[in-house]
Structure 1
Amino acid sequence: MKIILSTLNSRYTHSAIGLRYLYANMQELREHTEILEFSINDALQSVAEKLLDNNPDIIGLGVYIWNASQIHELIHILKKVAPYTTIILGGPEVTYLPFRVNFDLADYIIQGEGDLAFYQLCKDIKNGTAHERIIRMSIPNLKAINLPYEHYSDHDIQNRYIYVEVSRGCPFECEFCLSSMDEKVRAFDLEKVLEEFEKLWQRGARNFKFVDRTFNLNMKTANSILDFFLAKEPPYFAHFEVIPDHFPESLRQKIKRFPHGALQLEIGIQTLNLEVADNISRQLKLDKIKSNIAFLENETTAHIHLDLIVGLPGESLESFGHNLDELMRLSSCEIQIGILKKLSGTHINRHDIKHGMVYSDIPPYDILKNSQLSFKDIQIMKRFARFWDLYYNSGNFKKSLPLLWQDASVYENFYAFSLWIYAKTDSTYKISLPRQGELLFSYLTQVKELCEEDVAKRMLQDMMKLKGRAIPTYLKAYAKNFQIEAKLGTSGFNKRQQ
Structure 2
Amino acid sequence: MTRTTFPRIVLATLNARYIHAALGLRYLLANLDRHGGAGLRALAGLREYTISRSAPEVVADLLATLGPASDTAPQIVGFGVYIWNVTQSTEVIRLLKVARPDLKIVLGGPEVSHETDQQAITRLADHVITGWGDVSFAKLCRALLDGPQPLMKIIPGEQPPLAELALPYGEYSDADLAHRLLYVEASRGCPFKCEFCLSALDKTAWGFELDRVLAALDTLYQRGARTFKFVDRTFNLKIEHSVRILQFFLDVMASQPNRAQTSPTQLAPDSVTASAARQSMQPESHGLPRCARNDSQNAGLFLHFEVIPDHLPERLRAMLAQFPPGVLQLEVGVQTFNVAVQQTISRRQDNDATEANLRWLLAHSHAHLHVDLIFGLPGETLQSFADGFDRLLTIGPHEIQLGILKRLRGAPIARHSAAHGMVYASEPPYSVQHTGAVDAATLQRFSRFARYWDVLANSGRFTQTLALLLHAAPAGAAVNPDDTQAAAWGASPFWRFLALSDWLWQRHGATHKLSPELLVDALFDYLSHSLSADGVRQALLSDYIASGARSNPAALQGLLPRLAPSPAKARRTLATRQERHQSA
TM over 0.5: yes
Once the two structures are superposed, the pairs formed by residues 20-419 of structure 1 within 5 Å of their partners are: 20-27=26-33, 28-55=39-66, 57-97=75-115, 101-103=119-121, 104-129=123-148, 130-231=150-251, 232=253, 233=257, 234-406=299-471, 408-419=491-502
Aligned equivalents of 2:230 and 2:118: distance in 1?
29
Q: Which amino acid aligns with 1:8?
A: L
1:427 aligns with 2:510: yes
Please report how far the alpha carbon of residue 259 of structure 1 lies from its aligned counterpart in structure 2 after TM superposition: 1.5
Provide, for residues 94-139 of structure 1, a one-character-per-residue CA deviation record: whole Å limited to 9, x for no partner.
1112565412111100001101111100001012321100001232
Aligned equivalents of 1:474 and 1:81: distance in 2?
57
Aligned equivalents of 2:520 and 2:172: distance in 1?
41
Aligned equivalents of 1:304 and 1:364: distance in 2?
26
Does the 8 Å CA contact 2:517/2:551 hold for their aligned counterparts? no
Higher RCO (Cα < 8 Å, 6 or more apart): 2
Please report how far the alpha carbon of residue 433 of structure 1 lies from its aligned counterpart in structure 2 after TM superposition: 1.8
Does the 8 Å CA contact 2:358/2:397 hold for their aligned counterparts? no
Please report how far the alpha carbon of residue 370 of structure 1 lies from its aligned counterpart in structure 2 after TM superposition: 1.0
Q: CA RMSD in A?
A: 1.5
Aligned equivalents of 2:384 and 2:445: distance in 1?
16
Q: Which amino acid aligns with 1:73?
A: E
Aligned equivalents of 1:184 and 1:468: distance in 2?
49
Please report how far the alpha carbon of residue 317 of structure 1 lies from its aligned counterpart in structure 2 after TM superposition: 0.2
Aligned equivalents of 2:324 and 2:445: distance in 1?
39
Describe the shift of the 1:160–1:364 C-alpha distance in structure 2 as closer, same or farther (beyond 3 A): same
Counterpart residue number, 1:450: 531
Aligned equivalents of 2:41 and 2:114: distance in 1?
28
Aligned equivalents of 1:424 and 1:470: distance in 2?
22
Does the 8 Å CA contact 1:100/1:361 hold for their aligned counterparts? no
Does the 8 Å CA contact 1:268/1:308 hold for their aligned counterparts? yes
Does the 8 Å CA contact 2:370/2:397 hold for their aligned counterparts? no
Aligned equivalents of 2:116 and 2:384: distance in 1?
32
SS in 2 for 1:465: helix
Aligned equivalents of 1:289 and 1:32: distance in 2?
50
Please report how far the alpha carbon of residue 474 of structure 1 lies from its aligned counterpart in structure 2 after TM superposition: 1.9
Q: Which amino acid aligns with 1:116?
A: V
Please report how far the alpha carbon of residue 220 of structure 1 lies from its aligned counterpart in structure 2 after TM superposition: 1.2
Aligned equivalents of 2:130 and 2:338: distance in 1?
35
Counterpart residue number, 2:281: none
Deviates most, 434-443 or 217-226: 434-443
The match for 1:472 among 546, 550, 553 is: 553
Identity within the alignment, %: 43
Q: Which amino acid aligns with 1:318?
A: Q
Aligned equivalents of 2:309 and 2:564: distance in 1?
44
Q: Which amino acid aligns with 2:196?
A: F
The match for 1:4 among 5, 10, 14 is: 10
Q: Which amino acid aligns with 1:121?
A: L
Please report how far the alpha carbon of residue 434 of structure 1 lies from its aligned counterpart in structure 2 after TM superposition: 1.8
Q: Which amino acid aligns with 1:224?
A: R
Q: Which amino acid aligns with 1:32?
A: L
Describe the shift of the 1:50–1:112 C-alpha distance in structure 2 as closer, same or farther (beyond 3 A): same
Describe the shift of the 1:278–1:468 C-alpha distance in structure 2 as closer, same or farther (beyond 3 A): closer
Please report how far the alpha carbon of residue 278 of structure 1 lies from its aligned counterpart in structure 2 after TM superposition: 0.4
Provide, for residues 188-238 of structure 1, a one-character-per-residue CA deviation record: whole Å limited to 9, x for no partner.
111011111111001110010000000000111101111111122321110
Please report how far the alpha carbon of residue 428 of structure 1 lies from its aligned counterpart in structure 2 after TM superposition: 1.1
Aligned equivalents of 1:101 and 1:414: distance in 2?
40
The match for 1:16 among 12, 22, 28 is: 22
Does the 8 Å CA contact 1:166/1:187 hold for their aligned counterparts? yes
Aligned equivalents of 1:340 and 1:440: distance in 2?
29
Does the 8 Å CA contact 1:470/1:489 hold for their aligned counterparts? no
Residue ranges of structure 1 left out of the alignment (5+ in a row): 491-498
Counterpart residue number, 1:494: none
Q: Which amino acid aligns with 2:504?
A: I
Aligned equivalents of 1:219 and 1:280: distance in 2?
26
Aligned equivalents of 2:548 and 2:381: distance in 1?
44
Describe the shift of the 1:329–1:433 C-alpha distance in structure 2 as closer, same or farther (beyond 3 A): same
Aligned equivalents of 1:312 and 1:62: distance in 2?
28
Deviates most, 280-289 or 97-106: 97-106
Please report how far the alpha carbon of residue 467 of structure 1 lies from its aligned counterpart in structure 2 after TM superposition: 5.5
Q: Which amino acid aligns with 1:6?
A: A
Does the 8 Å CA contact 1:464/1:471 hold for their aligned counterparts? no
Describe the shift of the 1:369–1:488 C-alpha distance in structure 2 as closer, same or farther (beyond 3 A): closer
Alignment size in residue pairs: 483
Does the 8 Å CA contact 1:471/1:486 hold for their aligned counterparts? no
Does the 8 Å CA contact 1:206/1:235 hold for their aligned counterparts? yes
Describe the shift of the 1:99–1:227 C-alpha distance in structure 2 as closer, same or farther (beyond 3 A): farther
SS in 2 for 1:53: helix
